[in-house]
Chains A and B, each alone.
Chain A
Amino acid sequence: MSDGRLLRAAVLALLVAAAALIAARARYTADLSAFLPQAPTATQRLLVEQLREGPAARILIAALGGGEAPERARVSAALAQELRAQGTFASISNGDAASLERDRRFLFAHRYLLSPSVVAQRFTVAGLHAAIADSIESLASPEGPLVKPLFPQDPTGELLGILDGFGAERAPRTSAGVWASRDGAEALLMIETRASGSDTDAQERAVHAVQGAFAHACAPPGASCGLTLTLSGPPVFAVTSRALITREVVRLSGLSAALITLLLLFAYRSVSALFLGLLPVAAGALAGVAAVAAGFGTVHGITLGFGVTLIGEAVDYSIYLFLQAGSPGAADFRARLWPTLRLGALTSIVGFAALLPSDFPGLAQLGLYSVAGLAAAAAVTRFVLPDWIPRRLALRDLSSLGRQLLRGVHALRRLKPALLLVLIAAVAVILLHHGPRLSRELAALSPVPLAEQDLDERLRTDLGAPDVRYMVIVPAASAESALAASAAVAQRLSPLLADGTLSGIEAPSRYLPPAAAQRQRLAALPDAETLRARLAEALAGLAVRPGVLEPFIADVAAARTAVPLRREDLAGTSFASAVDALLVRTGGSYSALLPLSAASGDLPAQAIGRVQSLLAGNAEHAQLLDLKGETDRLYGSYLRQALVLAAAGLAAVTALLAFALRCVRRLGRVLLPLLLAVLAVAAALIACGHELTILHLVGLLLVVAVGSNYALFFDRLALASAHASPERTVSSILIANLATVIAFGVLATARVPLLSDLGSAVAPGTLLALLFAAALSAPERPGPR
C-alpha cells in the first residue's frame, strides 16, 4: 500500500469516526411541530408557538361510543375520576353536574369581584331600586326558576349578569348527566395534559394513560363493556404523525435500499462491487446526518426520509466509476471520468445549496443534508474507491445492453421534433389551467388524514370548542397589565356584541378581572348599615316581603373584606384552564388572547373591518389576527421564498454549466432537456389536478440539479477522447438514472405529503430528463477500445 493510499485511508477513518460521533450524539425528532416554519414576525412567532405549545395543543378529546347512554355516562365518570387521580392532566372535563355546580358556586361566591356591573351607582337607593325591580320582573320570565332561589342573596342579579357576559357559547349537549355528541351517540370528555404540546414523548404517555384508564374504567375485574374509545386532538395527531413518519422513513429507506441493491447486483454481478458501490452512499448519509446535527442541533425524521433520495444520487457515482472506467486504474479514472462526474456532482450540490437559506427548517435541513452527503459521496468516489477496487474486478459485460441502448438513443434522436410537441403540450396545459395552482394552505402538508381532521372538527364543534379563526392579541409586559388591556379591549369591542356583529368575545379578564378592577368593585360596596338603610328606601313600591333580603346584606358585608382573586384561586374550576389558554406567556412578556366569534361562523369581511376600525390606534396595541389566514400567509411566504430559491438555484446551475462547458451549443444540449422535463412534469402534475406545494417546487429544482448528471454524460459521449466506450457510458447512464428514479419513486409512495410530493416530482422528472437528454444529444464518436 502506498503512502498516499495509507494517508487517504487514515483521513477517511478519522472523518468517519468524527461524523459517527456527531451523528450518534445528535437529537432525533419526528415531531411535525419541529418542522413548522420559523416565523419572521412577532405575531407569527406567537402563532407558531401557540400551535406548538399553546393550550390548544394540549387538549385531547375522548369520545366513548357504543352501548347505552347510562353505561357511557358511567364509564365517562370512571375515566374522569381515574385520570384526575393520576395528576398528569391539568384538567378533565366531562360535563358532570358536580363540575358545573363547582363553577356555579365559584361564580356566585365571588360575584362582587367578577361582575362588571358592581359600581358605586348600583348600590345607591336609585340603583338598588332599579336592579331589584329588574330581578323581580325576571322572576316571572325565562330565568324565573334560576332567579328565585338566588333572589334573597343576589337581588341585584349579579350572577345572571356574569353569566350573560359569558355570552351565548353553545354548551355541549348532555346525556345521562355527562357531555355527549350532538347526535347523543357518544359521551365526550375534554382532557388537558400538563405537558406541553411539543413534548411528543409526554403526549404519547398521556394518550396511553387515557387508553389504559379507559380499559380499566370500561372493564372492572370480572366484567367488560362494549364501548369504544376514540381519541382526537393535536396530541393524538402529534403522536400518530411521529409514528407514521418513523415508520415511513424506515420503510422507504429499506425498500429503496433493497431495490437499488437488486439493480446493482443485476448491473455488476459482483458482490464486492456492490459493497464498494454502496460505500459513497454510506459515507454521504453519515456526512449528511452529521452536518445537519452540527448545523441544526436536531435531525428531523423527515430529513432522513429525504435522505432516501441521496441513495439514488450518490450511488450513481460508483456506477459511473465501475461501468465507465476502461481499466480499474485510478489514473485513468481521474483523467477521463472525474471531470464530468465532478461537474455533475457540483451542479447537484449547487442546486441543493439553493435550499440552504430557506426559513422553512425542513428545506434548509434537506439542503444541508444533501450538500454534505453529495460532497462526501463524490469525495469518497474520487479519493478512496479507486484505491480499493480489486485489480481483478470481474464485472458483467454490459456491451450488448449498451449497443441496444445506443440504438435506442439513435431512435430518440430521430424523434427530436416530437420534443417540440411535448413543449407545446406542456405549455398549453399550463396555460389552459391558468398557470400552476399553488397550494396556499399549510394543511396541505399535514400527514394527518382528512377523515381524522374532519372527525376532530366534529368533536370540537360538539364540545362547543370549535377551532378559533379570529382573535385579538394584546401584548403586555406583565400578567396584570395583560388582564387590564384585555378588559379594555373587550370593552372597546362591546358595541359589536350589542349590535349582533359578533356573537361572542372571549377574554381572560372575564374569568380573572384585573386586580385594580376587582378592588374598585369592592370599594363600591356599602357597609351593612348604609346598605340596610338604602334598601329600606329602595324597596318602596316593590312587593318584596320585609326581611327577605337579609342574606343580601350579609353577603355584601362579607364581600367587603374579600381580597382580589388571583389565578391560583381559580384552581379546581373550569375557568383556570380558560385563563391559561387566553393569557399566554411568551418569553418575558405576556399576551392576552381574545377569540372572536360570529353567529354565522366565519366573520364576514364587514365585521372584520369594524373590528379593525374599533382597534385602530388603540392604546393597548391590540391587533386582530386571522389564525388560518396568518398560517396560510406564513406558508405563502415560504412558497414565494421557495420560488425565489428555485430560480436562484436554476440560475446558479446554469452559470456553473456555462462556465464549465464554455460552449452555447453544449450548454443548450445539457440545459434544454432539463427545462423541458421540468415543464412536462409541472404540466403533468397540474393536469392530474394537483395543487403544487412547496415540495413540488423544490422537486422541480432537483429535476434540474440531479437530471443534469445524465445530460452531462450524454454531452461527454460526444467527446471522443473522454470516454472509454459509448456502450459502457450509455449503460452506466441508464443504470444510474434507474437508481435515482427508484429512490424518488419509492419516496412518491410515502404517506407523508412532504415526502411524496417531492418524490412524485423528481422521479418522473429525472426519467424524462434522461430521455430528453438522449434525444437532444449530439451523435457520439467512437472512443478508443
Chain B
Amino acid sequence: MRLPAALLLLVLPTIAAAAAPGGDFDALMQLLATRHQGHVPYTEVHEMAMLQEPLRSSGELFYQAPDHLEKRTLTPRAESLVLDHGVLTARRGTRTHVLELAAYPQIVPFVESIRATLAGDRAALEHHFQVGFSGDLAHWTLELTPRDPAVAGTVQRITLEGTRDAIQTVTIRQSDGDRSVVSIGPEIPP
C-alpha cells in the first residue's frame, strides 16, 4: 500500500543544457555539470500492451542545480511532480502526495539517474546503475541498467540520448515490454 512507490517512473525525463567542449563520457559529465538550470518542453509517449493506442502527454521540465527537479504536465491534464531537497510532491487534480525520498530507497536510483546526469555526477550514476556510454559528444547514448534487483523487476533499462550537452530523448523500457519515450525540445528562454 505504499502509493508513493508509484512515483518512480515519472521522475525520469531530463533537461537539455547549453554548449560546452568535451570528447568522451567524462567530458560529457563535466559539460553537464557546468549547467545550473534548465527549462525545456517535452512530449511523452507511453506504449502499453493493454491499450490499443499509446498515451500521449506533454508539458515542461525545469531543473535547478543541484537537487530541484520539476515535471509539469500540461496536456491532457495538468499535474505536477516536484523534487526539492529530497522531498517529492505530486499534485494531480485536488490530490497531493508528499513523500521523503530518504524513506523510499527504492525510488532513489530513479531520481538519481536524472539528478546525477544533470549534475554530471558520474560516481552517483555508477552507484545505482551499470552505465554504458556509446557514440561521441556530437551524438551520445547512455544506457542505464538498474543494479538493485527490486528496481530491475519493474524497469529493464533507461536510455538517454543527446547531442553535446542537450539531452534529446529518455526511453524507459519496462520489464513487461511497455515503453515510454520522452522527447525533449529546445531550451525555453527565460
Complex Cα–Cα for A100 and B2 (A)? 8
Complex contact B6–A144 (CB within 8 A) = yes
The contact of B97 among A136, A144, A168, by CB within 8 Å, is: A168
Complex contact B103–A145 (CB within 8 A) = no
B-side residues, CB < 8 A to A, are: 1-3, 5-10, 44, 46, 48-53, 55, 57, 73, 76-77, 79, 81, 90, 92, 94-98, 100, 102-105, 154, 178, 180
Chain B residues near A160: list those with CB within 8 A.
Answer: 3
Complex contact B5–A145 (CB within 8 A) = yes
Complex Cα–Cα for A137 and B73 (A)? 12
A255 to chain B, nearest CB (A): 51
B161 to chain A, nearest CB (A): 21
Chain B residues near A146: list those with CB within 8 A.
Answer: 3, 5-6
Chain A residues near B96: list those with CB within 8 A.
Answer: 168
B3 to chain A, nearest CB (A): 5
Chain A residues near B5: list those with CB within 8 A.
Answer: 145-146
A208 to chain B, nearest CB (A): 32
Chain B residues near A107: list those with CB within 8 A.
Answer: 1
Chain A residues near B90: list those with CB within 8 A.
Answer: 142
Chain B residues near A144: list those with CB within 8 A.
Answer: 6, 9-10, 46
* CB of A543 closer than 8 Å to a CB of B: yes
Chain B residues near A145: list those with CB within 8 A.
Answer: 5-6, 8-9, 154
- Known contacts being A145-B8, A147-B6, is A171 close to B103, with CB within 8 Å? yes
* CB of A783 closer than 8 Å to a CB of B: no
A-side residues, CB < 8 A to B, are: 100, 103-104, 107, 136-148, 151-152, 160, 163-164, 168, 170-175, 182, 184, 498, 543-545, 548
A183 to chain B, nearest CB (A): 9
Chain A residues near B8: list those with CB within 8 A.
Answer: 145
Complex contact B52–A173 (CB within 8 A) = no
The contact of A142 among B10, B50, B55, B100, by CB within 8 Å, is: B10
Complex contact A168–B98 (CB within 8 A) = yes
A590 to chain B, nearest CB (A): 27
- Known contacts being A142-B81, A498-B94, A543-B53, is A175 close to B1, with CB within 8 Å? no
A108 to chain B, nearest CB (A): 9
The contact of B1 among A100, A140, A545, by CB within 8 Å, is: A100
Chain B residues near A172: list those with CB within 8 A.
Answer: 103
A134 to chain B, nearest CB (A): 9
Decide if the interface of chain B is mainly helix, strand, loop or mixed: mixed
Complex contact B53–A163 (CB within 8 A) = no
The contact of B52 among A137, A152, A182, A543, by CB within 8 Å, is: A543
- Known contacts being A139-B48, A545-B52, is A103 close to B1, with CB within 8 Å? yes
- Known contacts being A141-B79, A143-B6, A144-B6, is A174 close to B104, with CB within 8 Å? yes
B185 to chain A, nearest CB (A): 19
Chain B residues near A137: list those with CB within 8 A.
Answer: 55, 76-77
Q: A137-B76, A145-B6 are in contact. List 6 more A-B contacts (CB 8 A).
A: A139-B48, A141-B73, A141-B79, A148-B178, A152-B50, A545-B52
B90 to chain A, nearest CB (A): 4
Complex contact B105–A174 (CB within 8 A) = yes
Complex Cα–Cα for A631 and B163 (A)? 66
B74 to chain A, nearest CB (A): 13
Chain A residues near B55: list those with CB within 8 A.
Answer: 136-137, 139-140, 543
Complex contact B1–A163 (CB within 8 A) = yes
Complex Cα–Cα for A544 and B48 (A)? 10
A312 to chain B, nearest CB (A): 57
Chain B residues near A184: list those with CB within 8 A.
Answer: 102
B154 to chain A, nearest CB (A): 6
Nearest opposing residue in chain A for B44, CB measure: A140
B12 to chain A, nearest CB (A): 11
Most B CB atoms within 10 A — which of A100, A142, A147, A545? A142
Complex contact A142–B46 (CB within 8 A) = no
B17 to chain A, nearest CB (A): 25
Complex Cα–Cα for A145 and B76 (A)? 19
Nearest opposing residue in chain A for B79, CB measure: A141
Most B CB atoms within 10 A — which of A171, A182, A548? A171
Complex Cα–Cα for A143 and B95 (A)? 12
Nearest opposing residue in chain A for B102, CB measure: A173
Nearest opposing residue in chain B for A498, CB measure: B94
Complex Cα–Cα for A139 and B176 (A)? 14
User: Which 6 interchain pairs have the tightest Cβ spacing?
Assistant: A173-B103, A146-B6, A543-B53, A543-B51, A142-B90, A143-B6
A358 to chain B, nearest CB (A): 48
Nearest opposing residue in chain B for A133, CB measure: B76
Complex Cα–Cα for A146 and B1 (A)? 9
Complex Cα–Cα for A143 and B94 (A)? 15
Complex Cα–Cα for A404 and B46 (A)? 102
Complex Cα–Cα for A137 and B44 (A)? 13
25 A-B residue pairings within 8 Å (CB atoms): A100-B2, A137-B76, A139-B46, A139-B51, A140-B57, A142-B10, A142-B81, A143-B3, A145-B9, A145-B154, A148-B48, A163-B1, A163-B3, A170-B100, A170-B103, A171-B103, A173-B100, A173-B103, A174-B103, A174-B105, A175-B105, A182-B103, A543-B51, A544-B50, A545-B51
Complex contact A141–B10 (CB within 8 A) = yes
Complex Cα–Cα for A140 and B174 (A)? 13
- Known contacts being A163-B3, A168-B98, is A141 close to B92, with CB within 8 Å? yes
A668 to chain B, nearest CB (A): 70
A50 to chain B, nearest CB (A): 27
Nearest opposing residue in chain A for B11, CB measure: A142
Complex Cα–Cα for A142 and B73 (A)? 11
Chain B residues near A182: list those with CB within 8 A.
Answer: 102-103
B166 to chain A, nearest CB (A): 24
Nearest opposing residue in chain A for B49, CB measure: A545
Complex Cα–Cα for A138 and B92 (A)? 9
